A and B are shown apart, each in its own frame.
Chain A
Amino acid sequence: MQNWLKGLVAGALALATPALAAYPERNITVVVPFAAGGATDVIARIYADHMSRTLGQQLVVENQTGAGGTIAATRVSKAAPDGYTLLMGNLGTQAASVGLYPNLAYDPRSDFAPIMNAAATPMLVAAKKDLPVKDFREFVAYVKANGAKLNYGTGGVGATSHLTCLFLDTLLDVKVQHVPFRGSGPALNALLAGQIDYVCDQTVGIVPQIQAGQVKGLVAAVKTRIPVIPDVPTSEEQGLPQFQASGWNALFAPKGTPPEIVEKLNAAARAALKDETVRKRLLDIGAELPDEAGQTPAALGELVRSEVEKWVPVIKKAGVTAN
C-alpha cells in the first residue's frame, strides 16, 4: 500500500519536475513588430520554419504593427517569461527607440532576455543616376558644397534609413533636407525618378537597382564588401571608416525567461543558421550573418548596449522624436 502510494507520488513528481526539460510543449509565438513581407518579417519566417523542425513545435509568426514596432516590443517585454512569446526585434525597437520615444514603456537593455542575433542587413548609400559624382569621395565633397540644395529620402522619421542618413550628416557636419516617405519602397521609387538625390537604405530593395544601373551604389557602411554587389566599396576604402551602420534583427524573450529555455532557443537558432538552405535564403536577400562568436545571447546583449550608445546621441543631436 505504502509502496503503491510512494510510486504514485514519485510518478506525479516525475511528471511535474521535468516540465522545463519538456519545453516546448505547445506552439511558440514569434512577434514581428512590422508588416508581413518586410526584411524583419522575411528573416523571422526563414528562422521560424527551421526552428519549428528542431524544436518539434510550430513557431507561429504574428505581425503586430504600430508605433515603429514599439507596441509589439512592449507586449513581449510584459509577456509571461515562459519561452512561448518571443520577439524578432531590430535596431529600431531595441536601440533607436530609446532616443525616439521619450515615453517608451520598456528598456531594451534590461527588459529582455537576448537569444540570438539573427541577421543584419547592411546599409548603403545610393545616389540618383545623374548626380554628378563618380564615387563616394566625390559625393562627400559634393554634399559639403551643395548640401542646402540636396534632398535625401527615407522610409519615415526614425526608420533605419533615416538614422543612417542622420549619422552621415553628423559625420560630414552638414544638414541635408530630409524627405520622408511611407516606407523604403516609395523612397526608392522617387530616387529612380530623380525626385530625390540619394538614400541610405538596406541592401534588400536597392541591390537590384544598382545591378541594373538604375541608381549609383556609392558606399557600403560595413567592414567588408557585400558579396552581391562586389563593385560597391566599403566606407573604410572611401576614407570614412567611422561610417558603420547595419539594420540588425535579433530574437528576444521577455526578461526572466529561465536560462535553460534561452539556451534551448539559442541552440535551435544556431542550428537554423548552420543549415545550407537557410543560409542561402538569408544571403540571397543580402543579409550579413553573425559569426560563431556573435551567436551567443551575451553577444546580443552587448550589441544592444553598444547600439543604444551609438544611436541615441545621433537622434538627440538631430532633435528627432517620434512622439
Chain B
Amino acid sequence: MTEMLANLGLGFSTVWKIAWMTDPLMGMAWPVPINLLLCFIGCLVGTLIGVLPGVGPIATIAMLLPITFGLDPIGALIMLAGIYYGAQYGGSTTAILVNIPGEASSVVTTLDGHEMARQGRAGIALGIAAIGSFFAGTVATVIIAALGAPLTKLALVFGPAEYFSLMVMGLVFAVVLARGSILRAIAMIVLGILLSTVGTDLETGQERMTFGLPFLSDGIDFAVLAMGLFGIAEILRNLDHTETRDVVRQAIGRLLPNKQDFKQSALPILRGTAIGGALGILPGNGAVLGPFAAYTVEKRIAKDPRRFGRGAIEGVAGPEAANNAGAQTSFIPLLTLGIPPNAVMALMVGAMTIHGIVPGPQVMTKNPNLFWGMIASMWVGNLMLLIINLPLVGLWVRLLKVPYRLMFPAILMFCCIGIYSINSLQTDVMWIGIFGVIGYALIKFGFEPAPLLLGFVLGKLMEENLRRALIISRGDMMTFLDRPISLGLLVVAALLLIIALLPTIRKSRDEVFVE
C-alpha cells in the first residue's frame, strides 16, 4: 500500500514537472508545467477529433507523431494518451448527438443516448456520460496503479480457446441486447458474422468472397461498416423525414442531471466500471465487449426493460462508464507486457519505440517515472476532460440548432475525409455510401444495425480463435471444455441464452417488445 502511494507520488510529481522555458520576446525564463500542458492539449485535441464524426484517434496520433519528436518522451506519451481517451469521450458526444459511433465501443451509446437527444434530453445524456466516464476513469486509474502487474498474469491465461468462449458469450449478449424480434436480431448477427468472413483467410491465405477485387482482400474495415450503417444511413433517414430532427433542435435541455437521474445512474455507473475495467485488461481487444456487456446487464436487471432503446439514462451511464474504464485498463497489457491490445495501442508502441523506450515488462522498473507518470496523467486527464467537457457540452448541443440542411453536408464531408484518412483508399469512401444505403434499407424494414456490427466485430475474433484453438489441439473439440476458464464462459453463455429465451417461451417477451 505504501509502495503504491510512493509510486503514485512519483507519478504525480512527474505530471507536475516544471520546465523553465525562455520566452522569445523578453528573453525571460518562465516556469511551465510542461507535462500538464501537454496533457491538456492531448485531451482537447482528442475531444475535438472524437466529436468530429469520422476523424479517429488512429489517424490523429499517426499525424501528430512526428511533431512529438522534439518533446521529452514522457510528455509526448502523456499527450498521445490524452488524445486516445479524449477521443473516447468525444466519441460518445457524436454517438448521442448525431447517432454515429466513432469506435466500436460507442455503438451502444447510440441506442439510448441518441434517443434521449431526440427527446430533448441531449444535455443530460452528455452530462451523465461525462460524469460516468470520469468516475470510471478514476477507479480504473487506481486499478492500474494497484493491480497492474499482477493482473497481467490473468491476461496470459487467456488463450485461443478462452477467447473463443468469450466471443460466444459476447454473441449471446448481442441476442439478449436486441430490441424487438429476437429472430431479426439473430438474422442481423449472422449477417454480421458473414460479412466478417470476407477477405483473405488468416490460416491458408486464400481469398474468400472477394470476387477477385483487391480492395476486398483484407476484408471490410470496421470503420467503413460502422460509418456507413450508422452515419450515412442516419443522414438518409433524417432527410426522409425532417420533423424528427426538429424535435431535437427545439429542446436543448439542462446539462446537469437532476437528483432522480443521479439516483438511476449511480449503480449502472458502478457496474459498468467493474465490467469495462475487467474486460479492458484482456489483450485482443476485450475492451470492445465492455459497453455491450454493461448494456446487457442493465437491461436484464432493469425493472422495466421496455424503457431501453427509448432513452433510458441507465443505458447511457453504464456503457459509458464501461467504455472509459476499458479504455483506461487497456493500457495494462501495453505498459506491463508491451503488447498492444488494439490498433491505437499499437500506435502507442510505435511512439514509444520512436522515443527510444522499448515497451515490455521492464518499462515499469527501467522507466518508473514514465510508467507512473502516464498513470497519474490519466487521472489528471480525466479531471481535465470533465472540466473541458461540461461547459463545452453547451457548445456541442448548440450544434444541433444548426439547420439540418447545413449540418448534413458537413457530416457527410467529415465522414468521407475521415474514412479516407484511415487507409488512404478511395474504395473505402465508396463503401460507406453502399453500406449507408444498406443501413437505410435495414432501418426501413425494422432491422437494427447494432447487432450486425457486433456480429461483425466478434465473428472475426471468434472464427480466428476457434481455428487457432483447434490447430493447437490438433482438432480436438474437447479443448473448449477441458480448460476451466473456457468452460466457465460457455456455461455463462448457455445460462444467459436460457434466460433470454425464457420470456419467449412464456410468450411474454413478445408483449414486452412489441413496438
A interface with B by C-beta (< 8 Å):
35-38, 41-42, 45-46, 48-49, 61-67, 70-71, 74, 100, 151, 156-158, 177, 179-183, 185-186, 188-190, 192-193, 195-196, 204-205, 207-209, 211-212, 214, 280-281, 284-285, 320-323
5 closest Cβ pairs, A-B complex:
A208-B360, A37-B350, A157-B205, A36-B62, A37-B347
Chain B residues in the interface with A (C-beta under 8 A): 58, 61-62, 65-66, 69, 156-160, 200, 202-207, 214-215, 217-218, 283-284, 333, 337-340, 343, 346-351, 353-354, 356, 358-362, 423-425, 464, 468, 471-472, 474
- Chain B residue numbers with a CB within 8 Å of A280 are 356
* Count of A-B residue pairs with CB < 8 Å: 141
Which residues of A sit under 8 angstroms from B361, Cβ to Cβ?
A: 208-209, 212, 214
CB contacts (< 8 Å) of B423 on chain A: these are 63-66
A284 touches B358 (CB 8 A): yes
**Least Cβ distance of B41 to chain A in Å?**
20
Q: Which residues of A contact B464 (CB under 8 A)?
A: 182
Determine which residue in A156, A180, A188, A280 has the highest number of CB atoms from chain B within 10 A of its CB, and name it: A180
A38 near B350 with CB under 8 A, answer: yes
Contacts of B343 in A (CB 8 A): 35
Inter-chain contact A195/B159, CB cutoff 8 Å: yes
Q: For the complex, give the distance between the alpha carbons of A192 and B283 in Å.
A: 12
Asked if residues A281 and B356 are in contact (CB atoms below 8 Å), the reply is yes
Closest to A67 in B: B217
Chain B residues near A195 (CB-CB < 8 A): 159-160, 472
Residues of chain A within 8 A (CB-CB) of B348 are 37
Residue contacts A-B, CB under 8 angstroms, 27 given: A36-B347, A36-B350, A37-B346, A37-B348, A45-B65, A63-B424, A64-B425, A65-B218, A66-B423, A66-B425, A70-B214, A71-B214, A71-B425, A179-B468, A179-B471, A181-B202, A189-B333, A190-B160, A195-B159, A208-B358, A208-B359, A208-B361, A209-B338, A212-B360, A284-B358, A285-B358, A320-B205
Question: Counting chain A CB atoms within 10 Å of each CB, which of B156, B218, B351, B360 scores highest?
Answer: B360
Interface residue from A67, A157, A212, A281 paired with B354 (Cβ < 8 Å): A281
> Which chain A residues lie closer than 8 Å to B218 at the CB level?
65-67
CA gap between A37 and B353 in the complex, in Å: 9
**Chain A residue contacts of B207, Cβ below 8 A:** 323
Q: By the criterion CB–CB under 8 Å, are B200 and A322 in contact?
A: yes
Distance of A286 from chain B, by nearest CB (Å): 8
Judging by beta carbons under 8 Å apart, are A189 and B58 in contact?
A: no
B200 contacts A193, CB within 8 Å?
Answer: no
Contacts of A204 in B (CB 8 A): 353
Residues on B with C-beta less than 8 A from A284 are 353, 356, 358
- Is there contact, CB below 8 Å, between A208 and B472? no
Instruction: Assess whether A37 is in contact with B349, with CB atoms less than 8 Å apart.
Output: yes
Point out the residues of chain B lying under 8 angstroms from A37, CB to CB: 62, 346-351
In the bound complex, residues from chain B placing their C-beta under 8 Å from that of A49 are: 66, 69
A192 touching B205, Cβ below 8 Å: no
**A212 touching B362, Cβ below 8 Å:** yes
Please report the C-alpha to C-alpha distance between residue A117 and residue B28 in the assembled complex, in whole angstroms.
46
Contacts A49-B66, A186-B283, A207-B358 known; A66 to B215 CB distance under 8 Å? yes
17 other A-B residue contacts (CB within 8 Å) besides A63-B62, A190-B159: A36-B58, A37-B346, A37-B351, A45-B66, A46-B354, A49-B66, A63-B423, A64-B423, A158-B205, A180-B468, A185-B349, A186-B284, A193-B159, A208-B338, A208-B359, A208-B361, A321-B205
**Residue in chain A with minimal CB distance to B353:** A285
B471 touches A177 (CB 8 A): yes
User: What residues of chain B lie closer than 8 Å to A185, measured between beta carbons?
Assistant: 339-340, 346, 349
Q: Which residues of A contact B203 (CB under 8 A)?
A: 157, 180
- A46 to B157 Cα, complex, angstroms: 37
Which A residues lie within 8 Å of B58 (CB)? 36
CA distance A36 to B468 in the complex (A): 26
Contact, CB under 8 Å: B339 / A188:
yes
Query: Do B214 and A180 have beta carbons less than 8 Å apart?
Result: no
Q: Which residues of A contact B333 (CB under 8 A)?
A: 189
Instruction: From A70, A151, A209, name the one whose CB has the most chain B CB atoms within 10 angstroms.
Output: A209
Look across to chain B and name the residue whose beta carbon is closest to the beta carbon of A208. Answer: B360
B360 x A100 contact (CB < 8 A): no
Q: Which residues of A contact B347 (CB under 8 A)?
A: 36-37
Contact of A189 among B200, B283, B356 (CB under 8 A): B283
Shortest CB distance B280–A (Å): 16
Q: Nearest A residue to B61 by beta-carbon distance?
A: A36
Instruction: Tell me the minimal C-beta distance from B128 to chain A in angstroms.
Output: 34
Once bound together, how far apart are the Cα atoms of A47 and B148, in whole Å? Answer: 36
Q: How far, in whole Å, are A241 and B342 apart by their CA atoms in the complex?
A: 38
Q: Are B156 and A192 in contact (CB under 8 A)?
A: yes
Please tell me if the beta carbons of B350 and A41 are within 8 angstroms of each other in the complex. Answer: yes
**Which residue of B has the minimal Cβ distance to A195?**
B159
Report A94 CB to chain B, min CB distance, Å: 18
